[in-house]
Structure 1
Amino acid sequence: MLEIRDLEAGYGGVMALAGVTLSVAAGEFVSVVGPNGAGKTTLFKTVSGTVAARAGSIRFEGQDLLAVPAHQRPHLGIAHVPEGRQVFPSLSVEENLQMGAFTEAGRRDWAANIEYIYRLFPILLERRRQLAGTLSGGQQQMVAIARGLASSPKLLLLDEPSMGLAPTVADQIFDAVVEIRRARNLTVVLVEQRAVEALESCDRGYVLETGRVVLSGGQNELLSDDRIRKAYLGM
């Protein structure tokens, strides 16, 4: 579904991605882990089009994604849930979800999607008329994920969904992501610093350091790798 080859991207004179190559098959759950500054967020921004690629290629379902303007990429089936949640604070919960349903598929599937979202996150049903900016951090993260789901995506890009959340709330978010993948048969790419949870949830993973892929493999392969265990699992 997603094929990235020799991707380079950055900001000003800083190179954030230096020849990144990775692939994601339809229906896969792929995690990308690594330290701060590794280029994980830049990777997602380059896929969604908010950061321009300097070199390399990105293909989505065989189509040259770099030839598609950023505002058109959601209509192909790509939903990017950014780090830091970034809800529309002055809009209600349900209005935030309606903003996510601007794609043709999202408008078509609105009734089924909103039913699923409220079943997945019952608190959002209770708070549907509340301003999103007044919600707790965990509830805002639920809104951000649900807003992505409202577009009826084929590919869900989740950037640091546990950021700034208490461990118990972060666990709830991870459980929801696993449930979404199972129930919706979505292709999910997760960027996350909580390497244990990210790798335990995925089919395959990539380790990014200083803009380069330094390790990749299946879940068990990465979890048993001594370099991963030492650097990310504290073992």
Structure 2
Amino acid sequence: MLRIRELSVHYGGLCALDKVSIDVEAGQFVAIVGPNGAGKTTLFKAISGTVGPSGGTIEYKGRDLLAVPPHQRPALGIAHVPEHRQVFPSMTVLENLQMGAYAPAAAAQWKRSLELIYELFPILAERGTQLAGTLSGGQQQMVAIGRGLANVPELLMLDEPSMGLAPAVVDMIFDRIQQIHKERELTILLVEQRAAEALESCDLGYVLETGRVAMVGDNQQLLNDKRLQQSYLGL
């Protein structure tokens, strides 16, 4: 579904991504882990088009994604749930969710999408008229994920969904992400600093370090790797 080859991104004189290659098959759950500054969020921004690469290619379902303007990429079936959630604080929960169904194909399925979002996150149905900026961090994360699902995506990209949340809330969010993946067979690309949770959930994992792919393997290969255990899992 997603094929990235030799992708490089520079900010001024700094190299954020250095010839990164990643594959995501349809229906896979792929996790990308690594420390701060490794280039994880930059990778997502390049896929979404909010930053331009200095080299390399990105193909989505065989199509040159770099030739597609950023505002048209959601209509291809790509939903990006950004880090820090980035809800619209002065809009209601329901209005935030509906913003995810902006593309015509998603708008046509809005009512069904809303039912599915409320099944996943019942609290959002109770808070539909509440301003999103007044919600807790965990509830805002639910809104952000729901907004992504409202796009009826084929590829759901989640950037640091655990950031700033209490452990119990993180567990619930990861449970819901796994539920989405299994029940809807949705392709998921996850960026996450909490390596243990991300790798336990995924089919395939990549480790980014200083803008490069340092390791790749299935979840058991990575969880059992001694260097990864010491560097990221605290074992």
Map of 2:103 onto structure 1? 103
Shift of 1:104: 2.1
Map of 2:65 onto structure 1? 65
Report the Cα distance in structure 2 between the residues aligned to 1:91 and 1:182, rounded to whole angstroms.
31
Report the Cα distance in structure 2 between the residues aligned to 1:228 and 1:103, rounded to whole angstroms.
41
5+ residue gaps, structure 1, are none
- Any residues of structure 2 matched to 1:1-235 within 5 Å, and which? 1-235=1-235
- The alignment partner of 1:53 has SS state of coil
Report the Cα distance in structure 1 between the residues aligned to 2:219 and 2:6, rounded to whole angstroms.
23
**8 Å contact 1:48–1:80 — kept in the other structure?**
yes
**Amino acid across the alignment from 1:50:** T
User: When the two structures are superposed, what TM-score results if normalisation uses the length of structure 2?
Assistant: 0.99
- The alignment partner of 1:232 has SS state of helix
- The alignment partner of 2:54 has SS state of strand
**1:100-139 deviations in Å (ceiling 9; x for gaps):** 0001221121111100000100000000010000000000
Report the Cα distance in structure 1 between the residues aligned to 2:108 and 2:2, rounded to whole angstroms.
24
**Amino acid across the alignment from 2:8:** E
Shift of 1:78: 0.5
Q: Give % identity.
A: 65
**Amino acid across the alignment from 1:26:** A
Report the Cα distance in structure 2 between the residues aligned to 1:77 and 1:145, rounded to whole angstroms.
15
User: When the two structures are superposed, what TM-score results if normalisation uses the length of structure 1?
Assistant: 0.99
5+ residue gaps, structure 2, are none
Report the Cα distance in structure 1 between the residues aligned to 2:217 and 2:83, rounded to whole angstroms.
25
Report the Cα distance in structure 1 between the residues aligned to 2:44 and 2:114, rounded to whole angstroms.
26
Report the Cα distance in structure 1 between the residues aligned to 2:190 and 2:86, rounded to whole angstroms.
17
| Segments ≥4 residues shifted beyond 2 Å | none
Shift of 1:212: 0.1
Shift of 1:185: 1.1
Report the Cα distance in structure 2 between the residues aligned to 1:13 and 1:5, rounded to whole angstroms.
22
Shift of 1:77: 0.5
Report the Cα distance in structure 2 between the residues aligned to 1:56 and 1:225, rounded to whole angstroms.
29
**Amino acid across the alignment from 1:182:** K
Shift of 1:14: 1.3
Shift of 1:148: 0.2
Report the Cα distance in structure 2 between the residues aligned to 1:122 and 1:34, rounded to whole angstroms.
32
**8 Å contact 1:10–1:42 — kept in the other structure?**
no
Shift of 1:10: 2.5
- The alignment partner of 2:233 has SS state of coil
Report the Cα distance in structure 2 between the residues aligned to 1:167 and 1:13, rounded to whole angstroms.
38
**8 Å contact 1:85–1:141 — kept in the other structure?**
yes
**8 Å contact 1:10–1:51 — kept in the other structure?**
no
Number of matched pairs: 235
Report the Cα distance in structure 2 between the residues aligned to 1:72 and 1:200, rounded to whole angstroms.
33
